[in-house]
A and B are shown apart, each in its own frame.
Chain A
Amino acid sequence: MTSSERALAHLPPGTDPPRSLPLLLDRVAEPFRRGAAPEPQPSTGFYTDTTVCIGCKACEVACKQWNLLPADGFDWTGNSYDNTGGLSATSWRHVKFIEQLPGGVLGELLDPGRWLMMSDVCKHCVTAPCQQACPTGAIVYNEFGNVYIQPDVCNGCAYCIAACPFGVITRSTIDGHAHKCTLCFDRQRDGLVPACAKACPTASIQFGPVDELRERARQRVADLHERGVTDAYLYGDRPGDTYSALNSFYLLVDRPSVYGLPETPVNPWLRMKGDYLRAAVSGLVSLAALLAALALAGGPG
């Protein structure tokens, strides 16, 4: 039992269904209650160095085990060693395998090629479209600056799913709610490292205060360049013109699209105002036309 669990142990279990009207009312009122906001902490995040990932998937399993997530079913995809396909409400970590090997007969001294591996996860965007989208306020920035879906608030409207440029979130059919990486909010509150980072044997997943991580990552890129790995670069370590920085950023050695990441993510909210304007213009023009028509035609009669 972690310390926070012990602290919470006296609370009534959330399982019992409302047996009486008061309980029902309580359930209705529940989402409207507000607690005190916790002390903000320095933002934490992930730096994922894909050049040392050995594709062992320990992160994927550690995540499912810590969070007790169900398996996604047993289908063999044939897409290299990736059989879980992608991130979803029930897979919050996902390891990708990209085979880049030349053909030909052994011993013909061809360029050996590469087998890229990358452990994908929610990017915990500094400005997160999913959070901007959420109409219930279920998605919040927690005290660690992580993007967190409050499972007791989400009503499964699915807008966050449509809003995420990285295809991280889906809606679970088990409970109809949206789920994704919590950045192990519960573990962080107890001063523990996220389960996936803890399990990673090669420190491909590094967890910590983002500023430190960015420092380390940039140093690493410099080192790699020195060693001739000139295609190494950081993805999401700083904000771009169309998107904020990512609190979970990556060291990659090929174009983002190769890893199934958007080349240049765009925050849809950059366009919202303009769209409202167009709608308003169109609306007013149409209304004017309607008025005019009625007035002209109806005038004399």
Chain B
Amino acid sequence: MTAPLNADPTQQATIAGYQSRPVTKPPNWHGLVTLDLLVNNLSSGLFMVAVLAELVAPAVFRPLASVAYPLALAWLLVDLVCLVLDLGDPARFHHMLRVWKPSSPMSLGTWCLTAYAAPLTLVAGLSLVPVEWGLEGARRVIAVVGLVPALAAAAYKGVLFSTTAQRGWGDARWFGGYLVNSALVLGAAELLLIGLARGRPQAVELLRVASLLLLPLNLVALGLLLADIRAALTEARGARTFVRVAVLAAAGGILLPLGLVALGGTVALVTAMLLLLLGALVVRDEIVRLPHRLHHRPHAAP
């Protein structure tokens, strides 16, 4: 325990005080929340893209629907499980539905998810019944109706984070903006992969072009987001790491995939889509961890 003899008392580490400590307390949201941020977008994104795609080119995309919607539903279920498990008292998850409180992004979000879950479930169900039954029309209508809550569901989480007192989160003006966009990018990617798997070159081609248009927008959104959280992230991770994260997310998660997409070809596309997924994960993870990293509390609550 003996320290090197140090004759200058002013060099002595003494009582810390409070100035150097963060004032706010982070909510201890970790992996589950990151996962939820991702699967939420995987679900809502896939749904939205699928619906729009079907609207524009039904013939091309109908065959993918029976995979796309059930998959989106599966993602949603995973998401809900994450949300419930992340509660301090999961047995009280239903308390979320006690009140309709649009002033609270979390309340609004819960209702949007609910509102989105209903059409999604129907559409997913209907997408599995033979076309001959003639429910296609109904399915389309329900799907279009579902677009609105889907969009909200994709967006609200960003606003939930940015409407907090946490360093970083509270600065992330464009988090919501980034998330919806990212949701669509991911959705397109998912559908494209389904297209590949189902051997539908036409669908793949259409989505490739779509991605070529969406990805630059994604880059813009990411840019705005990173600009927002630069200060906080730099403080938490150091300037170097910040740059690394930025480059990884932008170059690895967007530009490289963009290039590969432009290049085309199964291998290139698959790699691109995986990179996209990875990039999206990195961004979400960094942001979720941000205030916790900033906060080195001497005393955690029991």
Contact = CB atoms under 8 A, between A and B. Distances in A.
Contact of A275 (B9, B107, B176, B209): B176
A84 B98 CA distance: 35
Given A135-B99, A268-B165, A294 B210 contact: yes
A266 B206 CA distance: 46
Given A133-B106, A162-B26, A291-B52, A77 B298 contact: yes
Contact of A28 (B18, B94, B151): B94
A276 B159 contact: yes
B160 A159 contact: yes
Interface stretch (A5-13, A42-50, A171-179, A210-218): A171-179
B244 interface: no
A153 B89 CA distance: 10
B155 A280 contact: yes
Given A31-B94, A136-B95, A136-B98, A260 B165 contact: no
Interface string B150-191: 010011101110111110011001111111110011001000
B241 to A, nearest CB: 23
B198 interface: no
Interface in A256-278: 257-262, 266, 268-269, 271-272, 274-276, 278
A286 B214 contact: yes
Given A132-B104, A165-B24, A260-B23, A278 B177 contact: yes
Contacts of A259: 18
Interface stretch (B53-61, B251-259, B271-279): B53-61
Given A155-B87, A294-B56, A294-B57, A268 B99 contact: no
A260 B17 CA distance: 8
B210 A293 contact: yes
A289 B23 contact: no
A230 to B, nearest CB: 22
B2 interface: no
Contacts of B154: 283
Contacts of A171: 27-28, 88, 301
Given A272-B105, A279-B180, A293 B159 contact: no
A172 B301 contact: yes
Contact of A86 (B101, B104, B174, B297): B297
Given A271-B163, A283-B181, A298-B57, A159 B210 contact: no
Contacts of A172: 88, 301-302
Interface string B76-98: 00000000001111101111101
A91 B94 CA distance: 28
B301 A173 contact: yes
Given A297-B209, A298-B56, A176 B87 contact: yes
Interface stretch (A68-76, A197-205, A220-228): A68-76
A132 B103 contact: yes
A178 B88 CA distance: 8
B213 to A, nearest CB: 4
A194 interface: no
A290 B188 contact: yes
A163 to B, nearest CB: 5
B143 interface: no
B117 interface: no
Nearest to B97: A32
A195 interface: no
Contacts of A208: none
Given A177-B88, A268-B164, A79 B96 contact: no
A265 B49 CA distance: 41
A211 to B, nearest CB: 27
Nearest to B218: A286
Contacts of B227: none
A266 B165 contact: yes
B54 to A, nearest CB: 10
A147 interface: no
A155 B95 contact: yes
Contacts of B60: 298, 301
Contacts of B298: 75, 77, 79, 85-86
B73 to A, nearest CB: 21
A276 B23 contact: no
11 contacts: A85-B298, A86-B299, A96-B18, A133-B106, A136-B96, A155-B89, A170-B300, A178-B88, A268-B163, A278-B176, A292-B213
* 8 tightest A-B CB contacts, nearest first: A156-B88, A176-B88, A279-B176, A260-B18, A85-B299, A282-B177, A155-B92, A158-B27
Interface of A: 28, 31-32, 70, 72-73, 75, 77-80, 84-86, 88-91, 96, 98-99, 103, 129, 132-138, 153-159, 161-178, 257-262, 266, 268-269, 271-272, 274-276, 278-283, 285-287, 289-298, 301
